Amino acid sequence: MLTKRFSEAFNYAFKLHYYQNRKGTRVPYVAHLMSVAALVLENGGDEDQAIAGLLHDAVEDQGGLKTLDTIRNHFGDRVAKIVDGCTDSYTWPKRPWRERKEQYLARLIQADENIRLVSLADKVHNARTLLWDLQRYGPSVWRRFNGGKDGTLWYYRALADFFMSSESTPLSNELSRVVCEMERLAEKE
């Protein structure tokens, strides 16, 4: 059962991200946050995990550690810990892309199941969206990403392999399936 806290988290996430769109699109960023929270709930997550799904990008995109403190104060230590575990940058400008992704992957190994579920939901939604855009718009989509085609494929393959090796679930299977399809499309380019 979701409570008023979830509604408050949604409003806060909307306030933080209302002007953002997804990379290279006109899709409001909040659509991604709602999708991540939905995937968390659909895969057995609780309200704290769903709230973290709504707020998982708030720290790296909207204010760094100050935002993390606000999340902790309003939604509790558990939500803040999950959001922190899903964050790959606390400052602007961000460190180099590959460095951040390698460090994120290394942190996932030590992450608890709460962080892993939210991270996996985030990566599944991102990968699905990337695949759909590749199917619609073709290889030009790779230019949206700091890692380019090769780096982005490397990152998603590493994520899929990690999540499949740590625990095979319908959600980790979905990530693996989507990444395989991305790789198949990339080979045709």
Over residues 38-77, the pLDDT tens digits come to 999 999 999 999 999 999 999 887 778 899 999 999 999 9
Asked about 88 being catalytic, the answer comes back as no
93 backbone dihedrals φ, ψ, rounded to 5°: -70, 155
> What is the pLDDT at residue 94?
77
CA 120/CA 112 separation, integer angstroms: 12
pTM assigned to the model: 0.94
Asked about 60 being catalytic, the answer comes back as yes
The residue from 46, 61, 102, 161 that is catalytic is 61
Contact 14, 82 (CB under 8 A): no
> What is the pLDDT at residue 19?
87
- What residue segments make up the domains of the chain, in order of their start? 4-188
Q: DSSP character for 21?
A: B
The residue from 60, 84, 88, 133 that is catalytic is 60
Question: Under CATH, to which class is 4-188 assigned?
Answer: mainly alpha
